[in-house]
Amino acid sequence: MSTVRKAIELLNWFSADRSQISLAEFQRLTGRDKATTYRYLTALEETGLLEKDPVTRVYRMGPAVLRLAHVRESTVPRRAGVRLVLPRLAEATGELAHASILQGHSLVALTDHASTRHSARVVLDEPELPLHATGSGLAVLAYADPALLKVTLKNLKRYTDHTQTTRNELESALETVREIGFGIVDQGYEENVFGIGVPLFDSSDRVAGSVAVASVATRIDANAIALTKCELIKAARQITHSWGGSVPDDLDQIWSDTLSSLSNEFNFHREATA
């Protein structure tokens, strides 16, 4: 592996949880030589990708990454496409709508939008969403390269009592996703949060992210799920379109079927209560 790559991969040790790392800690994490690690870190610091606290000498993410992210967003404006859709999705469902993008092996929250309707809302703090334990994650896994599943299987962390942590459970869940066109996870990541997610596609027609609705689990019922599904389909189609991608034919067909059957049912309910 190239020196450049080895050095840059040090950045991957940082996360919201582990946001400050010292030289000694890097040594332990990577198992590499101290002097080498030191020089890598120095190089990263010189470029502004990292920043060293002058007092404690721990390293943290540097200011340069903000500029790079700015350029990225101006080049590939994912956010812009999402921002038009999320508020509507949140309002229509009355729940928290959020979108994430797939980066390498992790799903990273892009933006979220809470509805104004309910005061007891679901709040997302975590930037990374576990692929095996969220509706977004399942939706992505089901349509992504099988290699991603392989990597994911290596670490099926348990978040709640409902988290599915075995290979079999996950594989059958993905089978279901492919059948119904949605990733649904009931309290698998956070207690009392019910999530429904759908995949998003970019111009390469591969999975590029997901959009999802997170509801308070006690508030959800068949009607709410039906509504959420309809809105999610609309949102996913729109975002995928704005990203220059297109929904795979098989999935698009499933969604169309879902829409027509659900809209019947939904109209029926509305007429019955009217």
Partner DNA sequence: CAACGAGGGTTCAAATAATGAAACAATATT
Partner DNA sequence: AATATTGTTTCATTATTTGAACCCTCGTTG
Work out how close the CB of 76 gets to DNA at its nearest, in angstroms, rounded to a whole number: 18
The residue range among 23-31, 38-46, 234-242, 263-271 that interacts with its own copies, by the rule CB under 8 A, is 38-46
Spell out a b/e string for 213-245, using b for 16 or more CB atoms within 10 Å of the CB, else e. Answer: bbbebeebeeebbbbbbbbbbbbbbbbbebbeb
185 binds, among its own copies, DNA, none (CB under 5 to 8 A by kind): none
Report whether 212 contacts 197 (CB < 8 A). Answer: yes
47 binds, among its own copies, DNA, none (CB under 5 to 8 A by kind): its own copies
Report whether 210 contacts 99 (CB < 8 A). Answer: yes
Work out how close the CB of 18 gets to DNA at its nearest, in angstroms, rounded to a whole number: 14
Beta bridge partners of 100: 109, 210
274 binds, among its own copies, DNA, none (CB under 5 to 8 A by kind): none
Task: Return the beta strands (E) in the chain as ranges.
Answer: 50-52, 59-61, 96-103, 106-113, 128-129, 183-186, 193-201, 207-216
CA 156 to CA 129: how far, in whole Å? 12
Geometric angle at alpha carbon 206, from 135 and 249, rounded to 5°: 85
Taking residues 9 to 48 in sequence order and writing x for each that binds DNA by CB under 7 A, - otherwise, the string is: -------------xxx--x----xxxxx-xxx--------
User: Which residues, at least 6 apart from 121, have a Cβ–Cβ distance to it below 8 Å?
Assistant: 95, 96, 114, 115, 216
176 binds, among its own copies, DNA, none (CB under 5 to 8 A by kind): none
In sign, the C-alpha dihedral spanning 61, 62, 66, 69 is negative
20 binds, among DNA, its own copies, none (CB under 5 to 8 A by kind): its own copies
CA 196 to CA 10: how far, in whole Å? 34
The candidate with the shortest Cα–Cα distance to 139, out of 88, 168, 98, 192, is 98
Identify the H or E element spanning 192: none
180 binds DNA (CB under 7 A): no
Nearer to DNA, 39 or 72 (CB): 39
Q: Of residues 52-111, which lie at the interface with DNA (CB under 7 A)?
A: 56-58
169 binds, among its own copies, DNA, none (CB under 5 to 8 A by kind): none
The residue range among 110-118, 142-150, 155-163, 228-236 that interacts with its own copies, by the rule CB under 8 A, is 110-118
Q: Number of residues in contact with DNA, rule: CB under 7 A?
A: 19
Nearer to DNA, 34 or 178 (CB): 34
Spell out a b/e string for 39-56, using b for 16 or more CB atoms within 10 Å of the CB, else e. Answer: ebbebbeeeebbbbeeee
34 binds, among DNA, its own copies, none (CB under 5 to 8 A by kind): DNA
The residue ranges that bind its own copies (CB under 8 A) are 2-5, 7-9, 11, 14-16, 19-20, 39-40, 43-44, 46-49, 51, 53-54, 60-76, 79, 83, 87, 101-104, 106, 108-111, 113, 118-125, 127, 203-204
The residue ranges that bind DNA (CB under 7 A) are 2-4, 6, 22-24, 27, 32-36, 38-40, 56-58
